[in-house]
Amino acid sequence: HVYTFDADGLVCMLINGKNRFLLQPGDSLHVEIHYDGRNVKNVEFSGTEVAVNNNRQFYNIEMLKRDMRYKSQLLGCVALDVKPKDRIQDSKVLLQRVKEMLDAQAVNLSKEAYNYMVADVESDAYMSFMEYPVMYASVRHLPVEQQEIGDYWKLMEGYSIHNDNASLQNPSYIGLLMRYCFYEKERKAHEQGAAYTMPSRFEGMYEELASFYSDDARDAVLYNLICNFIRAGKEIERAEPLLKDYKEKYNKNTQYIQLLESLLQ
């Protein structure tokens, strides 16, 4: 299969539903995927040097996850009864090893690809911190306080978000930012002895995210929230007033508006 297209920035391309490859303006990349049944046996790259380096590193990260038996789906971990303390420890190891791998190859990678890959692994690790103990408690009926993970409300201590374009183009990272907003609001309520319930309606989520984030991160998060709601295809008319509010108050990337308006047509 041969694809040729123009791009304004970094693009993550999905092949056969699960294999991801990074491309930037000026890249030329040839990918040869070898399968063992339905599983990828190995991948060979050729093309422009930076494109090859970026994608080889991206693939190496996936192989590291495979070697660690690190599952991307948290529900799968619950089904296998992976203990929260083990999942969190594995996530810390994965995060450290990936950052070491990337730093060792940083001079050979584009800055955008480096940032995208960091955001990608942070999505896996930090979603595990925030989401897995609560999910495990709900399914396995073991309270978070009894999971031997320390203070749940300190797991994200010191975390700082990324505002660069490459990170904000990573859909998994946007999902992390959304969850982080509600985690932080719940943490602060907990400190004050109050209760916090994450909004379940589209409008409430929009208000919470808009008040929590600023600048490029807010722009990307709200765009993705509205985009996902429209794509769901139900009660689309509810998106129109919030799209108007987003356009007037928060939008910085005009391409987001063009894409949202095209979805509504």
Give pLDDT tens digits for 14-41. Answer: 988 889 999 999 999 999 999 998 888 8
pLDDT digits (tens, 9 = 90+) for 57-82: 999 999 999 999 999 899 999 999 99
Say how many C-beta atoms besides its own lie within 10 A of residue 56's C-beta.
15
Tell me what pLDDT residue 265 has: 83
The token pair that represents 190 in the structure block: 């907990």
- Write down the mean pLDDT value for the chain: 95
Within 8 A by CB and 6+ apart from 184, the residues are: 156, 212
Q: Does pTM top 0.85 for this prediction?
A: yes
Q: How far is 236 from 104, CA to CA, in rounded Å?
A: 47
Tell me what pLDDT residue 17 has: 81
Question: Residue 143 is which amino acid?
Answer: P
Tell me what pLDDT residue 173 has: 98
The token pair that represents 48 in the structure block: 């422009």
Strand 19-23 and strand 29-36: the pairing is unpaired
pLDDT digits (tens, 9 = 90+) for 188-206: 999 999 999 999 999 999 9
